[in-house]
Amino acid sequence: MNTHILLINCPDQKGLTASITRVLFENDLNLVQIKEHVDETSNHYYIRFTFTGDVVADKLVRELSGVLPKGTGITLNPRPVKDIVVLATKEYHCLSDLLVRHHFGELNANIKAVIANRPELGEITGRMGIPFHCISHEDKSREAFEQEIFARVESFNPDYVVLAKYMRIISPPYIQRFKHRIINIHHSFLPAFVGANPYKQAYDRGVKLIGATAHFVTKDLDEGPIITQKIIHVDHSFSATAMRKAGQEVERMVLAEALRFVFEDRVFVTGNKTVIFS
Amino acid sequence: MNTHILLINCPDQKGLTASITRVLFENDLNLVQIKEHVDETSNHYYIRFTFTGDVVADKLVRELSGVLPKGTGITLNPRPVKDIVVLATKEYHCLSDLLVRHHFGELNANIKAVIANRPELGEITGRMGIPFHCISHEDKSREAFEQEIFARVESFNPDYVVLAKYMRIISPPYIQRFKHRIINIHHSFLPAFVGANPYKQAYDRGVKLIGATAHFVTKDLDEGPIITQKIIHVDHSFSATAMRKAGQEVERMVLAEALRFVFEDRVFVTGNKTVIFS
Amino acid sequence: MNTHILLINCPDQKGLTASITRVLFENDLNLVQIKEHVDETSNHYYIRFTFTGDVVADKLVRELSGVLPKGTGITLNPRPVKDIVVLATKEYHCLSDLLVRHHFGELNANIKAVIANRPELGEITGRMGIPFHCISHEDKSREAFEQEIFARVESFNPDYVVLAKYMRIISPPYIQRFKHRIINIHHSFLPAFVGANPYKQAYDRGVKLIGATAHFVTKDLDEGPIITQKIIHVDHSFSATAMRKAGQEVERMVLAEALRFVFEDRVFVTGNKTVIFS
Amino acid sequence: MNTHILLINCPDQKGLTASITRVLFENDLNLVQIKEHVDETSNHYYIRFTFTGDVVADKLVRELSGVLPKGTGITLNPRPVKDIVVLATKEYHCLSDLLVRHHFGELNANIKAVIANRPELGEITGRMGIPFHCISHEDKSREAFEQEIFARVESFNPDYVVLAKYMRIISPPYIQRFKHRIINIHHSFLPAFVGANPYKQAYDRGVKLIGATAHFVTKDLDEGPIITQKIIHVDHSFSATAMRKAGQEVERMVLAEALRFVFEDRVFVTGNKTVIFS
């Protein structure tokens, strides 16, 4: 039997779940799982259903629209395998993890292309059978470089853009165009270190744990909605280099988990936060 | 506005959630949170609602019964602060944690009494203002001892019995009488060590992590439904004593979390497993 | 047989360990454990020995001084049970944990007194048999208040001052007087939130984990050498209050571990970092 | 300046460290790091030095032998990059992680070959430029199959054999021949599940965390010295398949960490335990 996914969000009011589930019942559909959350700050309602049965999609969405407030977000069966483009620079750990999972069909996504501003990662990408595009930022204005990068990105019409340690700034117009569809890894520590060489800063500060954050990119750099965060314990015997390597392990794990949540349609963005129906 | 809790479980069938939420809507109640799970093995449906509004309890339960299958478990607003009895022997770490949380009103439970088969923990219990009953197992048959313990337990008519490192066996008839209402901590390792002195075994085995499990007691000793599990990392520099101390830290954390889940009515038992709506 | 602890630190140079261990050997002492670290930044040498045998302390220290550079720090058998004073305000979770461990002889410290700027924690402190001093900050200048607090602290001549959620600033002169002997808990998140109500900030930011840091207090508030850090995972279903409670669990664990390290003489401060021979 | 590694183990007695460090000092060598442990059960002494300076290897080892008990294990500068052979069956997650790390020079090992009893992993191995040998177990006696496998393994004269989800038994003679040089991953849970389909057992048992163990293979299957263990939290919403996938993430992390320890010469085996100078 087919399993379906239904995502709905709207301002909260009484009777929403009753209205939705009645429509599902009247269509002879069988609920398998409900995940629901009302954000207290915005009083906004989020719900994710999985259900089984035979669906006439247009009819179901029309009937749901009929019982829900105007402007309600209704998504029935989002594309199950996302099209993505990966941007990278020269660190291999996040990219190669994506390539391997993709190769074995466990990424829930098609990697349409890897685009990098340096050539180093071309070899592994090619070995894994994915097109690699090197677009250097050298001898170009930032504007020209970005325009070239995103023209290439858009040529693949991706659902999501994944920044796998892509070390260039992305300007607001491109962020806006891919709103909540660009996913980044941030090397965030306790306390958070900004600026260049965060692992050197972490080493100098003598931290006892280091972490990483996967988030959607918004115009406030590294301040977008957090998807997932993990940490790893370190101690005084870790050099700055050893901390960087430990950080890479965490970055890879965090990105893999964040992409799983996003590509399985488990993530809503609410204001500057996420609701994750894991 | 009052917040209410509603717990329902029954064999799964189509339309259950629709039926329940329609009743809630017709009673002018506003859903705050829904947590739902269908156990695939038994095809049993579990759901937990929190909602706000004015409730006439009898009427609401009657209306819910009317739309749900015969034999459905319906619990509206279980007692918010549970009455409990704590059984202990001589280790202080779990008991004192409960006593402190109780003292500051964060246990969600009234500790009616601490009953122990040894006297050592009487002092701390007394200092925290809780009645302490020492019922020695010495010079008694196991049957006589258990009868005496549980006569005392039952005199307090507790909702739950918490075994805070109580080191005596409990016989099936008493387990049956408090089915899924006795909560125990097990010093479980990776791999699990049974028998006496598990920390010595763990030390001899050279484990790199030790753990603990909180579970409901069933007649198969230490095999009841698991509520929560945690671990702590150790290494070769830990003596068996240091491992025991590390284990006590984990035991305390595990018990505290398990009791929070249980006392907030977030736990269903399904077969030999739990569903935890955390 | 007696076990002894020896702590040595000095600028690194060739032959230090050889010189020290030769002295120990010539005194017929048997090494049980060596923990050693050279800080790469400062090129400073830190070593901690445990050994067994009969020791004439003066003679041993004199002989060690004879083979080590001038100004070397040599500590033989620091006081095994530290005298401490605990400062608190009104949150109970850290203080009560210390009181319970102290009561059962597992703190490695004598709590000489609890001093608080509010009265709430007097009851639990009294129940656990520890003197409680309430010194209100109201109607006093900050200077007068601090002078009164630290006059009381110093009357106990403590080895360490533990800030168990003490919510008042400590001024540089007092910090200097107890250099690396005041231990604090900081509610530090990923990313770190400064200012009032960090859990509200964390909630607003939608973090997926919260943490805590135990550190020595230095004149740069909350910037002193880190002793230990831990985190706990949270998600969108946590309210700001639930995050605060989760944070308190972590704070308690972090403080307990930090104090164990410090009171067992496992911690060196090197610049603004710690070396922890756990 | 060159950095050297020195590993020594022998029955514990007074003066060992003094003797060794004196020899190092007399050879004008500068200690960078000492990690030392005495196993209390066997009273055996383990120590790992890193030091800098110019070394005449023969002379240094001869001088060390001269001051240490007969039969002392002395290893100076073990091969920095190990030769390894990887055995696999059909699960890709551990193998591909090794291949990627190898490709980017972060494995501290040369993968001489991947040998599998099934063909599936040939493609990824080939893409990463490593020789792949498929030796099927079908239509062969276990003895013949094993003989063939290990003849091939031995043709590469590896320092270590890594079992990356190799699902065949290894017989005692081969284990003996590669004593403490075969590294395996075990899907160990809390409590440990033996036999077929451990994730199904874990699901049926309703565990709240799953783990994995990397260990040296000894003749008692899955009972060899533990190198590293990690866990991941799961809950009732995980199907047996989801648990298996979570388990694979842990297996990969555990194997990567264990190999890092082993290949950096940080691991001693003492009886059935390991000492890990991480």
Which pLDDT does position A194 carry in this prediction?
59
Residues in chain B closer than 8 A to C96 (CB atoms): 100, 103-104
* Residue range D218-234: mean pLDDT, rounded: 84
Residue C87, H or E segment: strand C82-88
Mean of the per-residue pLDDT values of chain D = 92
Amino acid at D270: T
Report phi then psi at D226, rounded to 5: -80, 135
Task: State the number of CA atoms in the 13 A half-sphere of A9 facing the CB.
Answer: 16
Look at strands A273-276 and A267-270 and give their pairing: antiparallel
Query: Which pLDDT band holds residue B214 (cuts at 50, 70, 90)?
Result: very high
Residue C274 has pLDDT above 60, yes or no: yes
When mean pLDDT is compared across A82-96, C105-119, C127-141, C242-256, the lowest value belongs to: C242-256
Q: Which of B190, B230, B277 to mutate to test the interface with D (most CBs of D within 10 A)?
A: B190
pLDDT of A41: 84
Using DSSP's 3-state secondary structure scheme, residue C166 falls into: coil
Query: Do the beta carbons of residue D179 and residue B180 sit within 8 Å?
Result: no
Average pLDDT over residues D156-165: 98
pLDDT band at residue D165, thresholds of 50, 70 and 90? very high
pLDDT recorded at residue C100 = 97
Catalytic residues of B: 222
Exactly one of D39, D97, D222, D235 is catalytic; name it: D222
- Encode pLDDT of A123-160 as tens digits: 999 999 999 999 999 999 999 999 999 999 999 999 99
Give the residue-averaged pLDDT of C203-210: 76
Q: Do C34 and D34 touch (CB under 8 A)?
A: yes
Please answer whether residues B252 and B260 qualify as being in contact, where contact means their C-beta atoms are separated by less than 8 angstroms: no
What are the structural domains of chain A?
A: 3-76 (3.30.70.260), 82-276 (3.40.50.170)
Question: Given this model, what pLDDT does residue B221 score?
Answer: 66
Residue D191 confidence (pLDDT) above 50: no
Calculate what percentage of chain D has a pLDDT beyond 90: 77
**In the predicted structure, residue C189 carries a pLDDT above the cut 70:** no
Our answer to whether residue A222 is catalytic in this structure is: yes
Judge whether residue B210 has pLDDT over 90: no
pLDDT at B132 over 50: yes
User: Are A104 and D96 a contacting pair at CB < 8 A?
Assistant: yes
Q: Which residue of A has its CA nearest to B29?
A: A14
Check pLDDT > 90 for residue A187. no
Q: Mean pLDDT in chain C?
A: 92
List the single residue in D with minimal CA-CA distance to C51.
Answer: D14
- Model confidence at B69: pLDDT above 80: yes
Cα–Cα distance list, B202 to A116, C82, D42 (Å): 49, 31, 16
Q: Do C38 and D22 touch (CB under 8 A)?
A: no
Q: Which of C40, C208, C229 sits opposite A207 (nearest CB)?
A: C229
Structure confidence at residue C196 as a pLDDT band (50, 70, 90): low
CA B130: distance to chain centroid? 20
Mutate which of C44, C229, C231, C254 to disrupt the A interface (most A C-beta within 10 Å)? Answer: C229
**What distance lies between CA A96 and its chain's CA centroid?**
17
Mean pLDDT of A87-96: 97
Cβ atoms of residues B241 and B248 within 8 Å: no
For C96, the closest of B100, B245, B253 (CB atoms) is B100
pLDDT category of residue A272 using cuts at 50, 70 and 90: confident
With CA atoms as reference, the chain B residue closest to C235 would be B278
Beta-carbon separation of A205 and C272 below 8 A: yes
Is the CB of C228 inside 8 Å of chain A's CB atoms? yes
User: In the structure, what pLDDT confidence band is assigned to residue D243 with cuts at 50, 70 and 90?
Assistant: confident
pLDDT band at C192 (very low <50, low <70, confident <90, very high): low
Report pLDDT for C193. 61
- Residue, of B234 and A78, whose pLDDT is higher: A78
Greater confidence (A245 vs B151) lies with B151
Residues C219 and B37: their CA atoms lie apart, in Å, by 53
Q: What mean pLDDT, rounded, does chain A reach?
A: 92
Is the pLDDT assigned to residue D249 strictly greater than 70?
Answer: yes
CA dist D193 and C263 (Å) reads: 40
Measure the CA–CA gap between A33 and A5, rounded to whole angstroms. Answer: 10
How many CB pairs below 8 Å do chains A and B form together?
A: 56
Does residue B186 have a pLDDT over 90? no
Q: D193 has which bridge partners?
A: none
Give mean pLDDT, residues B4-20: 96
Model pLDDT, residue D210? 83
**Of C107, C29, C78, which Cα lies nearest the Cα of C266?**
C78
For residues C95 and B55, give the distance between their C-alpha atoms in angstroms, rounded to a whole number.
Answer: 41
pLDDT value, residue A99: 98
Task: Answer whether A94's CB lies under 8 Å from A251's CB.
Answer: yes
pLDDT at A190: 40
Q: How far apart are CA C225 and CA C236, in angstroms?
A: 32
Is the model's pLDDT at B190 over the cut of 60?
A: no
What average pLDDT does range A28-34 have in this prediction? 92
Does residue B191 surpass a pLDDT of 60? Answer: no
Cα–Cα distance measured from residue A46 to residue A15, given in angstroms and rounded to the nearest whole number: 13
Q: Which two tokens stand for residue B273?
A: 């497993």
Check: CB of residue A76 under 8 Å from CB of residue A55: yes
* Of residues B19, B30, B34, nearest to A34 (C-beta): B34
pLDDT for A234 = 87
Strands A132-134 and A109-116: parallel
More confident residue, C201 or A170: A170
Better-scored residue on pLDDT, D2 or B43? B43
Which pLDDT band holds residue A35 (cuts at 50, 70, 90)? Answer: very high
Helix/strand/coil percentages in chain C, nearest 5: 35, 30, 35
The residue to which tokens 């607090």 are assigned: C149
Cβ-contact C195, C202 below 8 angstroms: no
Mapping DSSP to helix (H, G, I), strand (E, B) and coil, where does residue C273 land? strand
